[in-house]
Amino acid sequence: NAGVTQTPKFQVLKTGQSMTLQCAQDMNHNSMYWYRQDPGMGLRLIYYSASEGTTDKGEVPNGYNVSRLNKREFSLRLESAAPSQTSVYFCASSETGTHAYEQYFGPGTRLTVT
């Protein structure tokens, strides 16, 4: 049981390059999330997927796109990377419903855009 996995762990891009961050969970969770973490700003939600087949914008969606490929996988794409997108990116998943379901996080991807 791997939980939430993310690839890659580290990436350096040049301005204007594109890349896709991959995320997969094996806990059969309905909901998946992408966050970015910047110093002093905590975790900010980029996009989320409440269930397979749906995606919605979070607090900071500009410059990103997502795909919920199936129930397990939720990818984040940067079409034209900018230095402002230098950050640590976390994927998370959770169950939904009226219980104290917490989020489970992947190990993060440190992205540097030069």
Partner 1 sequence: AQTVTQSQPEMSVQEAETVTLSCTYDTSESDYYLFWYKQPPSRQMILVIRQEAYKQQNATENRFSVNFQKAAKSFSLKISDSQLGDAAMYFCAYRSEAWDGNQFYFGTGTSLTVIP
Q: Does 79 bind partner 1 (CB under 8 A)?
A: no
- Comparison of 81 and 92: residue with beta carbon closer to partner 1: 92
- Tell me the residue type at 51: S
Q: Does 85 bind partner 1 (CB under 8 A)?
A: no
Closest CA to 31 of 114, 107, 102: 102
Give the rounded distance of the alpha carbon of 62 from its chain centre. Answer: 14
Backbone angles phi, psi at 38, to 5 degrees: -120, 150
CA dist., res. 44 & res. 59, Å (int): 6
Q: Of residues 22, 58, 67, 72, which one binds partner 1 by CB under 8 A?
A: 58
- Comparison of 58 and 63: residue with beta carbon closer to partner 1: 58
- Comparison of 22 and 105: residue with beta carbon closer to partner 1: 105
Q: Of residues 21, 90, 111, 113, which one binds partner 1 by CB under 8 A?
A: 90
